[in-house]
C-alpha cells in the first residue's frame, strides 16, 4: 500500500502525488531513477521508498575517488565505533558522481541503518532518511519464513535483492512467500494504489545441472538487445540469464534463457552496463560487467549478448565455464561496487591497514598500481612520459598520500 501523508509536488511527479516522512528499517538495495529520485529497497518492512534527492550539484567534483580510511571518516562523522560499521550498498549519483553509501551500525539491540554521501575529496554528509520527502510502496507477499542462513542472513532480507528503473517502471527482484519463491516484481512509478505485478522466475542452472525456482536473482540490468527489452540477470554460482520483459505478467511462471556459466563457488556482487572506452592502446567495447566476491570480474560484450539471445539454453557445465565468452578483469573480493564515467567505484578493505577504502578503478584496465606491489613501471630509472598521467590517476591520493615517497623519489 502506498504511503501518503502530506500533499505536495515533487520534481518530475504529478500534482496528485504527495509527500511523507519516513525512515527505512533496513537498506537492502538502492537505485537512481529519473529526476534525482533515489529508490531504497527495505526488505525488513517489504517497502520501496522513493526519495527526492534534490538539486544535483557537487562543487568538489573530481574524476576519481581515493578515500583510504573510509571507516574512520564515517565513524568520525556519525560518532560511532569504526568496528561497528557493516557496509550494505553503494551507488554513484549519475550526475554528481557522489557516492551514496548505505551501512548498518551494530548496536546492542541490533542494526541501525544510515546513509552517507561522500564526494571525491573525502567530504561526507548525512542523507536524512527521516525528514527527506518520499513516497513509498509496500508489497503484501513478502516471505515470512523464520529462518537464518549461516547465522547472519535472515530469509526476510531476501525480499528485495536488486532493483532497476527502466522506461518508467521499477523492476524489483527477490523472493516471495510462494513455494516457487524467485520473483520479479514490476510497479509503476510514480507509485499508484495498484498492487505490483509478480512473476515467478525459473532458470536452468548449468553448474548445478537442475532447474531452479527458489533462489533469487542477485543483480540485474535492464536493456535492449537487438531491439527487444530484456532483464539481464546473474545468480549465485554464477549463471547469466536473459528474461524478456514482455514475458513478465502478474501471476505467471516463466523460464529464463541461461546464456553463460561464469564460474561455480561464487557470489556475484553487481551487474551493470558499460559503454565502450579506450585508454592508450587498450579498447573495450560496450557490454556488461559482473563484479564478484570470490572470482575476478567478468566482462561480456554486447555482441555476445546478442549471440546468446539467439541460441538454445545452455547445457550442463559442471565445474567448468560455458556459454557466451567473457573476459576476466583484475577486480575481485570487493565489498560493494558501482559503475561511473571514470571507471569502477568500489569499497574494499585494505589487507595491511585493515581500513575500508572508497576507490575508483579507472576503465578500461580496472586496476590500480598501488595494489600491485611494484612493477617495472615503478623502478627509478624507468622513464616513459606517456604512462605518467595513467600512473597518477591510478595511485595518487588527493588527501595526501603520494605515489612514491622518500629521498630518492625521481
pLDDT at 397: 45
Is omega for the bond preceding 118 within 30 degrees of 0, making it cis? no
Name the residue with cell 556488461. Answer: 288
Q: Please identify every stretch of the chain with a pLDDT value under 50, giving residue numbers as ranges.
A: 1-21, 396-401, 410
74 closest CA partner among 41, 100, 49, 96? 100
Whole-angstrom Cα distance, residue 103 to residue 90? 9
Q: Are strands 356-362 and 66-67 parallel, antiparallel or unpaired?
A: antiparallel
Give the three cell numbers for residue 72: 574512520
pLDDT at 404: 53
pLDDT at 35: 87
pLDDT at 192: 94
pLDDT at 22: 61
pLDDT at 362: 87
pLDDT at 33: 95
Distance between alpha carbon 402 and the CA centroid of its chain, in Å? Answer: 30
pLDDT at 1: 40
Name the residue with cell 527502466. Answer: 166
Tell me the H-state helices in 21-85: 70-78
pLDDT at 406: 54
pTM (whole model) above 0.85: yes
Amino acid at each position: 500500500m502506498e504511503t501518503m501523508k502530506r500533499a505536495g509536488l515533487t520534481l518530475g511527479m504529478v500534482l496528485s502525488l504527495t509527500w511523507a516522512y519516513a525512515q527505512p528499517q533496513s537498506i537492502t538495495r538502492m537505485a537512481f531513477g529519473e529526476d534525482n529520485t533515489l529508490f531504497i529497497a527495505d526488505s525488513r518492512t517489504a517497502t520501496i521508498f522513493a526519495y527526492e534527492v534534490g538539486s544535483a550539484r557537487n562543487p568538489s567534483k573530481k574524476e576519481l575517488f581515493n578515500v583510504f580510511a573510509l571507516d574512520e571518516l564515517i565513524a568520525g562523522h556519525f560518532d560511532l565505533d569504526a568496528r561497528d560499521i557493516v557496509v550494505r550498498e553503494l551507488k554513484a549519483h549519475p550526475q554528481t558522481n557522489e557516492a551514496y553509501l548505505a551501512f548498518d551500525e551494530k548496536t546492542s539491540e541490533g542494526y541501525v541503518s544510515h546513509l552517507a554521501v561522500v564526494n571525491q575529496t573525502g567530504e561526507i554528509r548525512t542523507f536524512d532518511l527521516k525528514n527527506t520527502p518520499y513516497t513509498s510502496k509496500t508489497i503484501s507477499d513478502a516471505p515470512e519464513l523464520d529462518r537464518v542462513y549461516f547465522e547472519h542472513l535472515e530469509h526476510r532480507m531476501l525480499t528485495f535483492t536488486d532493483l532497476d528503473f527502466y522506461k518508467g517502471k521499477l523492476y524489483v527482484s527477490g523472493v516471495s512467500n510462494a513455494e516457487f519463491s524467485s520473483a520479479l516484481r514490476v510497479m509503476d512509478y510514480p507509485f499508484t494504489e495498484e498492487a505490483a505485478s509478480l512473476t515467478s522466475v525459473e532458470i536452468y542452472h548449468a553448474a548445478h545441472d537442475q532447474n531452479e525456482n527458489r533462489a533469487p536473482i542477485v543483480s540485474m540490468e535492464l536493456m535492449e538487445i537487438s531491439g527487444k527489452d530484456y532483464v539481464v540477470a546473474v545468480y549465485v554460482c554464477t549463471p547469466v540469464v536473459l528474461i524478456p520483459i514482455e514475458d513478465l505478467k502478474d501471476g505467471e511462471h516463466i523460464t529464463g534463457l541461461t546464456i553463460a556459466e561464469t564460474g561455480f563457488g561464487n557470489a556475484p556482487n553487481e551487474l551493470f552496463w558499460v559503454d565502450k572506452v579506450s585508454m592508450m592502446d587498450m579498447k573495450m567495447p560496450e557490454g556488461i560487467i559482473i563484479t564478484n566476491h570470490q572470482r575476478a570480474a567478468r566482462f561480456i560484450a554486447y555482441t555476445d549478448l546478442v549471440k546468446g539471445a539467439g541460441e538454445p539454453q545452455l547445457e550442463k557445465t559442471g565445474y567448468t565455464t560455458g556459454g557466451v565468452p567473457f573476459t576476466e578483469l583484475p577486480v575481485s573480493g570487493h565489498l560493494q561496487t558501482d559503475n561511473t564515467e571514470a571507471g569502477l567505484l568500489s569499497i574494499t578493505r585494505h589487507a595491511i591497514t585493515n581500513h575500508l577504502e572508497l576507490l575508483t578503478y579507472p576503465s578500461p584496465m580496472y586496476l590500480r598500481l598501488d595494489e600491485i606491489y611494484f612493477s617495472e613501471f615503478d623502478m627509478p630509472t624507468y622513464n616513459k612520459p606517456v604512462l605518467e598521467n595513467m600512473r597518477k590517476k591510478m595511485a595518487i591520493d588527493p588527501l595526501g598520500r603520494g605515489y612514491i615517497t622518500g629521498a630518492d623519489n625521481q
